[in-house]
Chain A
């Protein structure tokens, strides 16, 4: 018996360790990382403030930034909290004067790429989870009403409650949270409420994938109408434009505050998704098998949906409703690495950012390069334009599409 166990373990260690060291997954991640890096290169080099590529990269690698940890901390945590953290870690909190090029790259161009990375991760992981929970390839936060619910609350915050602020007593004085800072929370709330309604509509002594998707379509239609209705109440054209940016999905003007908004939710959701990948795999075996293996299926679906909503809300709070990413990315990854969710989630963490970063390059620079005009497209328009035809291509190429 002991020898049996030993050989079993030997056998096991090989594939278990190898499960992530999959050649195809590795190439996928490598390729995606290169695409993100290329996007970063383009994004920091070009823009309205002209600087040479060498200058731009000099700014990225500016020793003034990298040798003063307090500067990085201030970027990441914001002025006040950054100093507090630096102080707590025993680092200097001295002010550092950065040259203009460094300032532009570090305050405008670089954070935009970072936000694109987080949004891409969050949407892709959210879509991947929803596809397993509903066992439907067409599921995404968009289809299941989460996006429209979150979008509605985001719009409400912007249009109706923009003056609202929450004062939270804090150890050192108090922190005033403006409505904008609360966006991820309100977005998550809206997404959760919308999904709750979808779940309630679909519930009939249990839920089924098809009923969930149908209910999702109903709820998102209603919520989208409400979103459009809100435009009527917008006080000026500026708010309308801002609102439009939210509903199409845009990264225009995002900077470090948006990184701070997107980061915690995304990281938490990704960690949970990786930890729960096995549960997702068991769900793929079908509801009755999952139940006979001892999984509390409805409860697990609910918990996993919560993770997916958290991820989607983090993305929607900073970038609005970027279409197709949550749907397309899990497909691309599944085509390459198969249906194992550990690999799938890892793949999504690379391909999602790659898609969004590349799309944002197009959105930001297309008009500038093509027509010499400084207009920017919304990134959601580009993902829609790229995602639609790609999805069609996938559908044509894969006969077995429709089964997970």
Chain B
């Protein structure tokens, strides 16, 4: 416990510094997470540099980001309120949307240097919306995940069969392999889609809100599948999550976005603070570590109030005090 206390003592400084300055080399003296993954691209599976991302219909870029790292072999969660550019950023990292400016580097090589199939063998991307032909079976959907490994007229190989089998068992959809997507619940269908992405056998997985619209059981099933994949096979996972509390518990590393810019990043303990919830999510909430991170939202803050004032009010109202570092002692 004493070691933890010491660490906690340091965290606010690291978090504060990271928040204020976008440059990655500030205030990360002894925080284990952000230092290596931010300073060396070798430690990152995906790096975005100097990104400005927009849509043809928008004049201004939706996302501007000096640098974003997705650390290798870890689970990264992108969090932020609606319209903060999480999905847009993820699309660019997956080469689904070309940035107006800046580069995306995947496994040390510029992402554009790959053919589309090569990319699909290295990086799996599950977008938020996908059409499921209702008569497609789960197994056939998974076989589509083998697309990047097959030539135009190739038939299936034994590896394809093995990969699909493995993907279905990881996602826990073997028992519904022959069911048609139209007959499944939303949660089962999402697991089937995840199985399809797993069948791609990539080292990097990007998922856009895979748990939104699912019941709690299936939310956890999806997250557990990703966790297991990360633990067993060292797959790098980057996932957009809506629920900050879930993200704090589930991810090794968090990137919080506000208005299209990274607000803070690092391990959940450093990033998830009452101040962040007020500043980024416009929510007054209590954050506790027991030692699992717990976020208890209380009420929505007014639009664009002075964040400092809100923070002070929270501190006064809550007997735990305002310093994020102090809070765990109470728990």
Contacts and interface: CB of A to CB of B under 8 A. Distances in A.
A293 B133 contact: no
Contacts, number: 98
Given A5-B162, A281-B144, A296 B116 contact: yes
B56 interface: yes
A8 B133 contact: no
Interface string B129-156: 1111111100111001101100011001
Nearest to B153: A275
**Which of A205, A291, A293, A404 is packed against the most chain B CB atoms within 10 Å?**
A293
B135 A338 contact: yes
Given A279-B152, A286-B130, A291-B116, A4 B165 contact: yes
B56 A204 contact: yes
B131 A284 contact: yes
Interface in A264-308: 275-276, 279, 281-282, 284-286, 288-289, 291-296
A5 B158 contact: yes
Contacts of B139: 15
Interface string A1-45: 100110111011001100000000000000000000000000000
Contact of A293 (B118, B153, B156, B200): B200
Interface in A310-330: none
Contacts of A292: 94, 96, 120, 124-127
A339 interface: yes
B117 interface: yes
B182 to A, nearest CB: 9
Interface residues of B, number: 41
A400 B182 CA distance: 11
A340 interface: yes
Given A282-B147, A293-B147, A4 B125 contact: no
Contact of A294 (B119, B126, B134): B119
A293 B165 contact: no
B145 to A, nearest CB: 7
A25 to B, nearest CB: 12
**Which of B96, B129, B136, B147 is packed against the most chain A CB atoms within 10 Å?**
B147
B130 A293 contact: no
Contacts of A286: 127, 129-131
Contacts of A291: 96, 116
B178 interface: yes
A295 B136 contact: no
A285 B131 CA distance: 5
A404 B134 CA distance: 9
Nearest to B119: A294
A337 to B, nearest CB: 8
B125 to A, nearest CB: 4
Contacts of A295: 116, 147
B158 A288 contact: no
Contacts of B147: 282, 293-295
A294 B148 contact: yes
B121 interface: yes
Interface string B13-30: 000000000000000000
B162 A4 contact: yes
A282 B148 CA distance: 11
B161 interface: yes
B306 to A, nearest CB: 40
B164 interface: yes
A215 B136 CA distance: 30
A293 B144 contact: yes
A293 B150 CA distance: 11
B164 A293 contact: no
21 contacts: A4-B166, A8-B158, A11-B161, A15-B139, A275-B152, A276-B152, A279-B152, A288-B127, A292-B96, A292-B125, A293-B120, A293-B144, A293-B200, A294-B118, A294-B120, A296-B116, A338-B135, A338-B180, A339-B134, A339-B136, A340-B135
Given A8-B164, A16-B156, A294-B121, 20 more contacts: A4-B162, A4-B165, A4-B166, A9-B161, A11-B161, A11-B165, A12-B161, A281-B136, A282-B144, A285-B130, A286-B130, A288-B96, A288-B129, A293-B120, A293-B148, A294-B148, A338-B135, A338-B136, A339-B135, A340-B140
The 9 A-B residue pairs with the shortest CB-CB distance in the complex, in nearest-first order: A338-B135, A294-B120, A294-B117, A8-B161, A294-B148, A339-B133, A292-B125, A293-B147, A8-B165
